Amino acid sequence: MEQTFQKAYAKINIGLDVLRRRDDGYHEVRMIMQTVRICDELLFEKSRQPGIILKTDNEELPVNGDNLICKAAALLFRERGITEGVKITLTKRIPIAAGMAGGSSDAAATMRGLNELFEMGYSMQELQALGVTLGADIPYCLVGGTMLSEGIGEILTPLPAPPDCFLVVAKPDVNVSTGFVYGNLRADRLTYHPDIDGIIVALKEGSLDGISDRLGNVLETVTAKEYPVIEELKELMRHKGALNALMSGSGPTVFGIFAELSDAEAAAEAVKEEGYARQVYVTEFYNGKD
Ligand code: ATP
């Protein structure tokens, strides 16, 4: 095999709770992770020139060792003692620094792609154990779908996919660093915790209303305080017919859940027209395998 191709899907959090800050600085979480159809594309080609070469259509992103793709590739090459070369071409579509795990998903796709291209023979569990050393969301991004994520993100339990519906995903024009948000979260002072168990029951019952009624993310206490646009976006989406709306991950991306495509499209138009965000997508949950 000379080349292989992978899609890297974005995720949103239907529920995100933080239980406590551990002594080592990591946070213990309980999150419902869900992939959406928005994805990056990665092409991996063996090259005669040794080393890892990254090319991308996005000028904002580093193409050196700071990119999570290069970190993931270097990790696997080191572990397996590979001295050959690879050229990786990234087509970037997932909003950056958005709370949609774009970097983690690219890293996960890189691990899957290189495992295949260089016939490394890693099992999924082995890839996940290596991946968590680079980022807490990488074990999830390796498999995707609907999952309960616990521990620091490495304990994963598959859940039933949510019912079909439409999503409006809007990323306001501010970049939020995940480190800043977790650094400013007072996990010991949270007065509200989302009903993660209730969301799990609603998923098992296939109840879109049950899921929508329980959307919750404790990281809003940090990001939405800093950026009022987040609450304004949620309000606008609800006003435009969303069953409910929430910030994803550490933000600032907001998503709304819609039963009808026409309502979702009208809401996306309104978000753009009122200038809340330029990166606005109408999309769906994604539980496929490609
Ligand atoms: P998460 O939901 O995991 O917190 P995020 O969506 O908030 O992720 P990313 O888009 O993954 O954030 O990127 C955050 C930072 O990581 C960016 O500032 C970017 O420069 C850097 N980065 C490194 N590699 C990548 C990559 N392949 N894609 C996107 N960002 C990357």
- By percentage, how much of the chain surpasses pLDDT 90? 96
Q: What is the pLDDT of residues 8-46, one digit of tens each?
A: 999 999 999 999 999 998 899 999 999 999 999 999 999
The closest-lying atom of ligand 1 relative to the alpha carbon of residue 60 is: 20
Reply yes or no on whether the pLDDT at 95 is more than 60. Answer: yes
Average of per-residue pLDDT values in the chain: 96
pLDDT in tens, 154-195: 999 999 999 999 999 999 999 889 999 999 999 999 999 999
Ligand 1 centroid–CA 95 distance in Å is 9
Mutational test site, ligand 1, from 29, 94, 178, max ligand atoms within 8 Å of CB? 178
pLDDT tens column, 202-252: 999 999 999 999 999 999 999 999 999 999 999 999 999 999 999 999 999
- For the domain made up of 166-283, the CATH class stated in words is alpha beta
DSSP code of 161?
P
pLDDT band with cut points at 50, 70 and 90 for residue 5: very high
Contacts of 207 by beta carbon, 8 Å cutoff, 6+ apart: 163
C-alpha to C-alpha distances, 217 to 14, 43, 53, 122, nearest whole angstrom = 8, 34, 37, 34
* pTM, entire model: 0.96
Give the number of the atom of ligand 1 that is nearest the alpha carbon of residue 11: 2
Q: Which CATH number fits domain 3-158: 3.30.479.10, 3.40.50.1000, 3.40.50.720, 3.30.230.10?
A: 3.30.230.10
Q: Could you list the beta-strand ranges (E) of 59-212.
A: 85-91, 146-151, 155-158, 166-171
Percent of the chain whose pLDDT exceeds 70: 99
Catalytic residues: 11, 137
pLDDT at 289: 57
- Compute, in angstroms, the gap from residue 174 CA to the centroid of ligand 1: 13
pLDDT at residue number 225: 93
SS3 239: helix
Let me know the angle formed at the C-alpha of 269 by 275 and 212, rounded to the nearest 5 degrees: 100
Q: What does the domain layout of the chain look like in residue ranges? A: 3-158, 166-283
* Cβ proximity of 1 and 44 under 8 Å: no
Residues with CB under 6 A from ligand 1: 61, 67-69, 96-104, 106, 137, 178, 249-250
> Could you tell me the distance, in angstroms and rounded to a whole number, from the CA of residue 262 to the centre of ligand 1?
31
Report the candidate in 275, 225, 276 with the shortest Cα–Cα distance to residue 253.
Answer: 276
Q: Which two tokens mark 178?
A: 């995940």
